[in-house]
A and B are shown apart, each in its own frame.
Chain A
Amino acid sequence: MGTNGAGKTTTLRAISGFLGIDDARVTEGAITFKGARIENRPPHENTRRGIVLVPERDKVFPNLTVAENLAAPVAPAAAAIERRRREALAYQFFPQLADLRHRVGGLLSGGERQMLALASGLVCEPELLLVDELSLGLAPVVVADLLRRLAEIRRQLGIAILVVEQSATVALEVADYAYVMENGRIVLDGTAERLRRHPDIQEFYLGRKSGERRSYREVKQYRRSRRWYG
């Protein structure tokens, strides 16, 4: 979680890898996955390693059909049985997509598009699925449904899922563990249970007032406290 510009997308992009066109690279620090250093590796390598990103926007191929969107990630050399198994994985968790098989990605609604994006991520067989802004432009009902499916995927496939989510209420309901980012740093982390009861989260993210009214000046002062920038 975190406000706009906190660095959530940048963090996910850095983990997933940059292309030359992005004109970006990790200059400091290390990113390790299962014991291997992976910073500044190309995205397709990280995907094969098991780190799969569902990006914030442009998350499906607009001129490819749903079926093609789900087939493109599978290596062309893969055997037919393997291809069918991976495709079945997508339809298992998102059965609605089966009816949309022949529709092109660009003509899907926002909710369908997000489903296709998550499904095409699953087809890559992730061990770590990164989902950027799950709820962007979607109705709360749709978001709640998608989060339930993600929880189901995690339960059945046993993979790790990292979701960037603006809406703290929803995020803290399904998550096991949460991180709060501000200005490019993680300022708070803990189990969802603990964060839900944390006074700062209650006040800044869940919008509940704790105690008496405070002026904005005091709030800023409070934010700058040592605890947040440790």
Chain B
Amino acid sequence: MQLIVNITVLAAIYALLACGYVLIYRVSRVMNMAHGELAMLGAYLLYTTASLFTDHPVGAIAAALVLSLTVGVLVYVALMRKMTGQMVLAAILTTIAIGILLRGVIVLIWSAAQQHPLQALKFSNPSIELIGGARISTCAALMVLATVAVYTALFVFLRFGRWGMRLRAAGQNPLLAAQRGINLNAIYALAWALSTLTGSIAGMLIALDSGLDQTMVVIGLKAFAPALVGGLDSLLGALVGAVIVASAEVLAIHYVDPLLSDVVPFLVLIAALIVRPWGLFGTREELDRV
């Protein structure tokens, strides 16, 4: 039972991070290699707002969410917009540079020491006993709930929302979208904003549950595996990929060796790339185009 809980929590973490990769890839074919760093930045922003509004935890969380949304738009407007229409490789290299830059800036501002936004918010994180004697921490349970909420919202938004529809249109054929009066810059900025927001929510919850330092970048990178396993342009794929990678990782830790934790996601990734390079739910033609 505890294993299932562990898998669910890890899958939720991966899924919440992976949907950010999918969102940006789907509309602009760019793999955002700075996603882990942006998630980490979101967590640090929460730490700061928590220290500023010591008596208003809800205000602190809201402010941190708004700030991360702004960060996403800023990254697009300031850096990625100039990459629109350039080679995709150039755009990916730019995201790698953004990631390195962010890591440096974060150390400069917040130092490399571990921080605890949970204490700053004056929250406690008691573990909850579930049926069958399994335990889950409050923050981990929140993580699962947040993932369910974000995915439901994204599915509804993309399927029925008018902006979601434009997002899909721009992803399918940017030129035709522009010829139909859709401003691609607005669409891409929206994708970056949503991606950074969901990533930051994941980062904040991870930080609340287990403290905050640079190791979060590794989690962000590991979440790239489920996004690829599921197929980079599919949200459902990211969800399924997250479950597969999380199961493999938790089972390997439990039955083989805890040190495998950082290796297993990438083993699954390599296996998936060999068997089905376009991912479980990805579009096959995407691959031919690259």
- Judge whether A48 and B169 touch: CB under 8 Å: no
B193 CB to nearest A CB, Å: 15
- Judge whether B169 and A64 touch: CB under 8 Å: yes
* Chain B residues closer than 8 Å to A68, beta-carbon distance: 165, 169
In the bound assembly, the distance between CA atoms of A48 and B178 in angstroms comes to: 10
- Judge whether B181 and A73 touch: CB under 8 Å: yes
Which stretch (A50-58, A89-97, A171-179, A183-191) binds chain B?
A50-58
In the bound assembly, the distance between CA atoms of A73 and B122 in angstroms comes to: 48
- The answer, yes or no, to whether B127 is at the interface (CB within 8 Å) is no
* Chain B residues closer than 8 Å to A169, beta-carbon distance: none
**Nearest B residue (CB) for A125:** B181
Proximity bits, A75-86, B CB within 8 Å = 1, else 0: 110000000000
Main secondary structure of the interface of B (DSSP, over half): helix
* Chain B residues closer than 8 Å to A196, beta-carbon distance: none
Residue of A47, A62, A63, A71 near B179 (CB, 8 A) is A47
**Contact count band on B:** 20 to 34
- Judge whether B174 and A21 touch: CB under 8 Å: yes
In the bound assembly, the distance between CA atoms of A71 and B165 in angstroms comes to: 9
- The answer, yes or no, to whether B116 is at the interface (CB within 8 Å) is no
Proximity bits, B49-88, A CB within 8 Å = 1, else 0: 0000000000000000000000000000000000011100
Q: Which of A24-72 contact B (CB under 8 A)?
A: 42-44, 47-48, 52-53, 55, 58-64, 68, 71-72
* Chain B residues closer than 8 Å to A44, beta-carbon distance: 178-184
B187 CB to nearest A CB, Å: 10
A130 CB to nearest B CB, Å: 10
**Nearest A residue (CB) for B173:** A58
Which residues of B are interface residues toward A (Cβ below 8 A)?
A: 84-86, 162-163, 165-166, 168-169, 172-184
For this complex, 12 residue pairs linking A to B, each with C-beta atoms less than 8 Å apart, are A17-B178, A19-B184, A20-B84, A20-B86, A44-B184, A61-B176, A62-B172, A63-B172, A64-B169, A72-B169, A73-B180, A73-B181
